[in-house]
Amino acid sequence: MLETTLILVAAYLMGSVSFAILVARLYGLPDPRSHGSGNPGATNMLRTGRKSAAALTLLGDALKGFVAVLVAQWATRTYGLPVHVPYLAALAAFLGHLFPVFHGFKGGKGVATALGVLLALDLRLGGLAVLTWIAVFAVTRVSSLSALVAATLAPVYGYYLLGQGPETKFLAAILALLSVLVLARHHSNIRKLLSGEEKAFKR
């Protein structure tokens, strides 16, 4: 359907907006793609020493995923679209962040955007993922490990939270795919963690 296609394209375009790059320009900071880890995300923005810049990046990247799903949910109710459209929109927004059309298809690792879409899809699920990230980071001070644990446990949380409605299979598939993509985007961090080279943030 035309409406579904438009929703998915809009979600992808929203996901393609890199708040790390926008915030860096706003603050007059180095382009995150050529600074620190080279990843256009909140953690790398924190390496600039500007906590407010990192916070804005985190909020923006999460919010774009959250809004993309909310818009899809509204359109689904309003126009009687298939129930799986919001889940596809969540994936489209996430892929937009990973492969942004506005930035040569070279995006971030997707943690904040994934959390944003999870919060919109199911507040309990997203809340558990956020709490998991916070808990692991509080203990280890390693952002990548926090993201990996949260991503790994998200499908587990979903398994216990899922109902028996028609949306169950779509949510399960999206959770599994988001988790795999987040893990794949952190392949270099996984190698560093295994070798003990991954750096922790100072307390």
Average pLDDT, the chain: 92
Quick: pLDDT tens for 151-187.
Answer: 999 999 988 887 666 677 788 888 999 999 999 999 9
pTM of the model: 0.93
Mean pLDDT, residues 46-69? 92
Q: What is the residue-wise DSSP string for 146-195?
A: HHHHHHHHHHHHHHHH--SSTTHHHHHHHHHHHHHHHHHHTHHHHHHHHH
Identify the pLDDT of residue 154: 95
Whether residue 17 has pLDDT greater than 90:
yes
Percent of the chain with pLDDT over 90: 72
The lowest-confidence range among 46-50, 164-168, 192-196 is 164-168
Percent of the chain with pLDDT over 70: 97
Whether residue 141 has pLDDT greater than 80:
yes
Residue 35 or 188, more confident: 188
Domain residue spans of the chain: 2-195
Instruction: Tell me the pLDDT band of 33, cut-offs 50, 70 and 90.
Output: confident
- CA dihedral angle for residue 134, residue 203, residue 111, residue 46, rounded to 10 degrees: 140
Q: Per the structure block, which two tokens stand in for 2? A: 């035309």
Mean pLDDT, residues 136-159? 94
Identify the pLDDT of residue 4: 94
Mean pLDDT, residues 18-27? 93
| CB-based contact 113:15 (threshold 8 Å) | yes
For 134: left if phi > 0, alpha if psi spans -120 to 50, otherwise beta; the answer is alpha
Q: Determine whether 153 is exposed, middle or buried from the number of CB atoms within 10 Å of its CB (0-12, 13-18, 19+).
A: middle
Identify the pLDDT of residue 151: 96
Identify the pLDDT of residue 203: 63
Residue 132 or 30, more confident: 132
- CA dihedral angle for residue 39, residue 128, residue 174, residue 103, rounded to 10 degrees: -20
